Amino acid sequence: MSDKNQSFSRRAKNKTSSKSIEKNNNIEEKAMKEAEVPLEDLRGIKKYLRIIAPYTEKIRQFLRPVKRFWKKYNLTKITIIAVLVMILAIGSYLFYLAKTANVSILQKSIDAQTQIVDKNGDEAGLLYGSKGTTVKFDQISDNIKNAVVATEDRTFYENHGVNLSRFALATVTFGRFGGGSTITQQLAKNAYLTQKQTIDRKAREFFLALEINKHYNKQEILAMYLNNAYFGNGVWGIEDASRKYFGVSANQVTVDEAATLAGMLKGPEIYNPLYQDGKYATPRRNTVLQNMVSAGYLTQTEADSYASIDLKSKLKDTYVPQSAAYKYPSYFNAVIAEAQRKYGLSLQDIMNDGYKIYTTLDQNKQAGMQVTYDNVALFPQAADGTHAQSGAVAINPKTGGVEALVGNVTSENHNSFFDFNYATQSRRSTGSVIKPLIAYLPAVQAGWAIDKILEDKPTTYPPNNWKPQNYSGEYLGTVPMYQALANSYNIPAINTYRAITPEKGNAVGREFGLNLKKENENDTLSTVLGSGVETNPWEMAQAYATFANDGVMNSAHLITKIENAAGDTIATANVTQKRIMTKEVAEKMNAMMLGTFTNGSAWNAAPASYAMAGKTGTNNTTDQWVVGYTPDIAIALWIGFPNETNEQQQLQGTSEGQPSVIFRNIASYLLPYTAGTAFTAENAYAMHNIAPITPAWTALRDQQDAIVYQEQSAQNTTGNIPKSEASSSASSDSGGGFDFQKTVDDAKNAAKNIWDNITGFFNR
């Protein structure tokens, strides 16, 4: 070959080689790009390897004796044996758990309902919403069955309850991956385990699924799974879900509806069609339809046709929640919240697992409180026709047990089982009910006499020239402390709070559990009027129960014990006690606050034949409070409109008005079911020979008095004050009504006496 040809050949070869190199480089760069590893990072890695290269030999030298030691003692075999023994031990343990889970009663437990038990051990009610309406396999549409199997477990009818490949993946990834559990595993998880995605739970789930598969056939398993599934918006079970979202029974559901329901199983709160107008439900439905195509249940044409249907057009709600039949919806609502908050149970656990929850509920008191809340006419009505909302809590001071609780005024628009619970969840201004807690109590603890003279005159306070007023706009010049508290005068309270210092006052308030921050924002004088401090009836009842219990505060609670479906105790109440004040100080506070109900701002709230102590509070036109107690019970009542800024919904007057009438109605039903224990402290007004206010007669007060005497007669109880005092506190019968003196003298036959008076009137 000539030099020219050779030169040409070399050039061609070089060119080809160059192209090949370039091609290889392109491939390498493409591969690196696909791996998302920048060239700079690879150069950095190479540089790092060059740096550590001198040390690799030293590492090898260090490992040589380790390798010799490893080989000498056959540690590889020992390690393998140890791992196998560990696997065998864990497997045996999990197998034991599965065997002892008693899956043979699973079907019955799914039908079981959580039971609420009152303080006497009697059933107070069942959580009907926990299970929904149970249906059999042949009462469920094939469309639902196909959609669920296609999406949740395509090997359902062939597998033995588990998918080995999925389980292996879950094991090697420590429970983080696994492609989802089988339907049988999900049933095991929902019935027995937590929702945490861990290898421990996956392993337990594995063995439980095997056991379930041995005891039940596929039809029974699928029916149990669908009856026990949660579908959002408080709906459990496929039958109720079908009615909630599409207005039909489970055996009438169409393919597109079935795909929607099946899609919700992955995330019922997000994928239900009512959430954000089906924003996530529609694409999820379409995904399920494609799953049904892949599984052979639909053709692509059919799936496309169903996917084109407007989901909103199919929605129809014919579901009637059984929770509407709850006897004590607010109380049950609070019990569930406490079980979640204090004992770590999920809502789904509580509603599905057939627990027996023992509570401090007194059904007589609860029923009486609810009678008041069922009478919507008692509650203030705004200019736009809206009735005010309210919450009330009654606590046993000696135990901290909540014996009655209502969190909503009954109306068509409110189901107090699911609605906001104003008794426990609200955060409203304390108004003046905070005064005894952060001003007068610290003052008495500091040695102030209950009749210490306080200034009551217009005052300007630094540093911002604040000029507060008494509600009435009137001033007495000077006033004894017990009268200042009973009548809720603002200026004396501010002066007291200022004298004992906000820092010390707030420290005492925090002992009661009030949200008084340690920072300076709550160290202003206006705090004593409730500014910047929020609370609810639960906290106020707990705080004032302390005065009734000689200065010891028991933590408020509803639950005393929880048992699972097998009867095992899984939780017991841990009631804490805290001494806030000495018994002597508590007696002085009681002496002052007894005056609130005889001569002060709650003069209209005292029920017949009972002495009560406490405090009222008013926060402008948004919040009104009445808190009252005896040695046997503490009751806190709040009234207000939900929207504090709505100018069309504002309260009128103060707590002396309608709130006192409502409180008296509640107390008239509750107090006859107490022991009628008398106060040992003497009313400060009586100490100073000041007679109590006698309220004018009204038909409503007459009715409330009759309630007291009738309930006392039925329970064979009496009031907690002497008969002579009781007669003076009864309504003055200016209208020629009942002879209440005679009724008091014979409380056991009160109902008969009232009837005799009525019949005697017509026989004159």
246/763 Cα distance (integer angstroms):
64
Residue with tokens 């009637």: 320
DSSP state string for 678-736: PPSSPPHHHHTT-PPP-PBP-HHHHHHHHHHHHHHHHHT---SS-HHHHHHHSPB-TTS
Alpha-carbon dihedral sign for residues 15, 17, 19, 22: negative
Any bridge partners for residue 613, and if so which? 629
- DSSP assigned state of 437: I
Residue with tokens 């023992």: 358
473/458 Cα distance (integer angstroms):
9
**What is the pLDDT, as a whole number, of residue 548?**
98
**What is the pLDDT, as a whole number, of residue 243?**
96
Maximum alpha-carbon separation in the chain: 152
**What is the pLDDT, as a whole number, of residue 12?**
46
451/159 Cα distance (integer angstroms):
83
200/9 Cα distance (integer angstroms):
69
**What is the pLDDT, as a whole number, of residue 111?**
65
CB 640 within 8 A of CB 651: yes
Which is catalytic among the residues 141, 152, 323, 668? 152
> How does pLDDT run across 417-466, given as a tens digit for each residue?
778 899 999 999 999 999 999 999 999 999 999 999 999 999 999 988 99
The two three-digit tokens of residue 374, written as one number:
């069922």
The two three-digit tokens of residue 488, written as one number:
């809720």
φ, ψ of residue 658 in degrees (nearest 5): -60, -35
Collapsed DSSP state (helix, strand, coil) of residue 319: coil
CB 652 within 8 A of CB 592: no
Tell how strand 115-117 and strand 356-359 pair up: parallel
Q: Which amino acid would we find at residue 545?
A: A
Say whether 57 is catalytic: no
242/250 Cα distance (integer angstroms):
5
Q: Which CATH number fits domain 122-314: 1.10.3810.10, 3.30.70.260, 3.30.360.10, 3.30.70.1430?
A: 1.10.3810.10
Q: Could you tell me which residues come within 8 angstroms of residue 247 by beta carbon, excluding any fewer than 6 positions away?
A: 316, 317, 318
**What is the pLDDT, as a whole number, of residue 396?**
98
The two three-digit tokens of residue 443, written as one number:
């003052």
Low-confidence ranges of the chain (pLDDT < 50): 1-2, 4-25, 27-37, 100, 194-199, 724, 726-764
Which is catalytic among the residues 109, 181, 429, 432? 432
Task: Look up the pTM and report it.
Answer: 0.69
CB under 8 Å, gap of 24 or more: what pairs does 201-205 form? 201/175, 202/167, 202/170, 202/171, 202/175, 202/178, 203/90, 203/94, 203/171, 204/94, 204/97, 204/98, 205/181
241-261 burial code (b ≥16 CB/10 A, e <16): bbbbbbebbbbebbbbbbbbb
Of 211, 227, 207, 230, the residue nearest 219 (C-alpha):
227
Residues in the chain: 764
The two three-digit tokens of residue 660, written as one number:
């006192």
208/199 Cα distance (integer angstroms):
14
**What is the pLDDT, as a whole number, of residue 14?**
47
The domain limits of the chain are: 122-314
Collapsed DSSP state (helix, strand, coil) of residue 133: coil
**What is the pLDDT, as a whole number, of residue 34?**
41
**What is the pLDDT, as a whole number, of residue 90?**
67
Say whether 432 is catalytic: yes
**What is the pLDDT, as a whole number, of residue 477?**
96
Of 457, 488, 421, 441, the residue nearest 624 (C-alpha):
488
